Structure 1
Amino acid sequence: MKKDNIAPFFAVLQAANPTPETELEYSTPFELLAAVLLSAQATDVGVNKATRKLYPVANTPQAILDLGVEGLEGYIKTIGLYRSKAKHLIEACRMLVERHGGEVPRTRAELEALPGVGRKTANVVLNVAFGEPTMAVDTHIFRVSNRTGLAPGKTPLEVELKLEKRVPPEYRLHAHHWLILHGRYVCIARKPQCWQCAVAAYCDFKPKTPTPGAG
């Protein structure tokens, strides 16, 4: 994607959705952290179904610790990889209680030190809970960044670093949400819906997917 096309690309996405939000349901930084940890290789819809039952019972590190691994598993067993996620979340809660007074830390290094929390999860928490202009590169952002030519790269980290350089400052806070939603609903994996894409004019992907039934 030509540099001159990047600002208009984001301007169109912003006009369509001025204040994009995560589709994970949460009311505190800890609820967000737990939801993102549970969302690896799972859908936001599936995670929300589980946390709607879990959070009214336990929505703090100490409360989840008190459930224990087996107790926690009972609430999240509908989510993929729930056994390993339960262990990670319990250990993360233990560390939050012992090292951070039960509060979610606000630095990447401290977040990434928590079991089950990688760079992407840390970036989501920093962005959504604390307003940092981070780029949490998931499969949708990785695909959209490469397909459009916005920030091509062979690894999520390479794409993240390119996005930080190429996205204009005024769009950085919400950029990862716009890209996730665009990848989830328009620039989908198997067949991008180019015929109804608002930013197709700025995208390098060729040939564009034709309108179904056309011709």
Structure 2
Amino acid sequence: MSQDGAEWTATRVRTLHDDLVDLYGPVETTEAHGADPDRDPAEGVRQLLTTILSQNVADQNTARASENLFDTYADFAAIEAAEVAELAEVIRVAGLPETKATRIQRALSAIREETGGAYSLAFLDAMPTAEAKAWLTDIKGIGPKTASVVLNFHFGKPTMAVDTHVERVSKRFGLVPESASNARAHDVLDSVVPDELTYPLHVLLIEHGRTHCSARNPDCDNPVCAAYCDCEGC
């Protein structure tokens, strides 16, 4: 029996997290997640470019495009200076090659101009989360999901990256209104999910979306769906 209509508070979100942990086990925060003063400043830029490549494409194609990109060009300056058509061919496996090539070069240009010549996103670490997110999303082609991936995964900032699994499960659970846009879903989840649960809940919601709460023919025979979900399968 679901809790349809119940108000989502931080306490209830913590309960959902705990119930998902009971089903899938705890999420371990790896060394690759969160701010690290000893980390190469270029890693944040690499993550941003890789996340742009990942937009609307399978993980294996993202990995191939990313490998092609960083193997082909010596540094970020060379990527920014490349002919768009040439860059598009290098990353073609990621889909939308001309669009993504333009977005990558636009992002590198914005970073270089912000820092006075360096290709580093380290300046975002000192910004409040909302300000850092606004800086990234002001770059045309970078939406809230791409910004949230970089800010949460690289800097450990409390902002939820809402992919298709997170959005679907959140709407079925009533965490996010069914009619909400993806951008609105980011705002809603950022407002209700406790900061310390942003990353683990993101991982757990994706796991639940892949394992049980699929887009078609969901497998609702599990205690989490029984407690929170009101989809047709339940």
What is the deviation of 1:63? 3.0
What is the deviation of 1:31? 1.4
Aligned AA (2:63)? N
In structure 2, how many angstroms separate the alpha carbons of the residues matched to 1:91 and 1:165? Answer: 30
2:202 corresponds, among 166, 176, 186, to 176
In structure 2, how many angstroms separate the alpha carbons of the residues matched to 1:59 and 1:132? Answer: 30
- The one-character-per-residue Cα deviations of 1:59-103 (angstroms, maximum 9, x if unpaired) are 743131243322321221112211111111112212222322211
Are 1:113 and 2:128 matched, yes or no?
no
Bigger Cα displacement from structure 2, 126-135 vs 68-77: 68-77
The normalised TM-score by structure 1 is: 0.80
Aligned AA (1:167)? V
In structure 2, how many angstroms separate the alpha carbons of the residues matched to 1:46 and 1:185? Answer: 22
What is the deviation of 1:9? 2.1
- The one-character-per-residue Cα deviations of 1:129-170 (angstroms, maximum 9, x if unpaired) are 110110122222221111122333422233223323432444
Q: 1:115 to 1:62 in 2, by over 3 A?
A: farther
- The one-character-per-residue Cα deviations of 1:169-205 (angstroms, maximum 9, x if unpaired) are 442233223223332343111122223x462232222
In structure 2, how many angstroms separate the alpha carbons of the residues matched to 1:91 and 1:162? Answer: 29
SS at match of 1:115: coil
Do the aligned residues in 2 keep the contact of 1:133 with 1:174 (CA within 8 Å)? no
The normalised TM-score by structure 2 is: 0.75
In structure 1, how many angstroms separate the alpha carbons of the residues matched to 2:182 and 2:88? Answer: 30
In structure 2, how many angstroms separate the alpha carbons of the residues matched to 1:113 and 1:207? Answer: 38
In structure 1, how many angstroms separate the alpha carbons of the residues matched to 2:74 and 2:193? Answer: 35
Q: 1:161 to 1:90 in 2, by over 3 A?
A: closer
SS at match of 1:28: helix
- Provide the residue aligned with 2:36 in structure 1: none
Root-mean-square deviation over aligned CA pairs: 2.7
Q: 1:44 to 1:185 in 2, by over 3 A?
A: farther
Do the aligned residues in 2 keep the contact of 1:20 with 1:178 (CA within 8 Å)? no
Bigger Cα displacement from structure 2, 80-89 vs 68-77: 68-77
- Provide the residue aligned with 2:187 in structure 1: 161
Q: Give me the identity figure in percent.
A: 31
In structure 2, runs of 5+ residues without a counterpart are: 33-41, 125-131
Task: Please list, as runs of the form range in 1=range in 2, the aligned pairs for 1:93-112 lying within 5 A after superposition.
Answer: 93-100=108-115, 101-104=118-121, 105-106=123-124, 107-112=132-137
- Provide the residue aligned with 2:20 in structure 1: 13
Do the aligned residues in 1 keep the contact of 2:171 with 2:178 (CA within 8 Å)? yes
Are 1:145 and 2:152 matched, yes or no?
no
Task: Please list, as runs of the form range in 1=range in 2, the aligned pairs for 1:1-215 lying within 5 A after superposition.
Answer: 1=3, 2=6, 3=8, 5-14=12-21, 16-19=25-28, 28-58=43-73, 60-100=75-115, 101-104=118-121, 105-106=123-124, 107-154=132-179, 155-195=181-221, 197=222, 199-208=224-233
In structure 1, runs of 5+ residues without a counterpart are: 210-215
Q: 1:38 to 1:11 in 2, by over 3 A?
A: same
What is the deviation of 1:40? 1.7
Aligned AA (1:150)? L
In structure 2, how many angstroms separate the alpha carbons of the residues matched to 1:117 and 1:141? Answer: 19
SS at match of 1:55: helix
In structure 1, how many angstroms separate the alpha carbons of the residues matched to 2:158 and 2:139? Answer: 21
Q: 1:184 to 1:76 in 2, by over 3 A?
A: farther
Aligned AA (1:67)? A
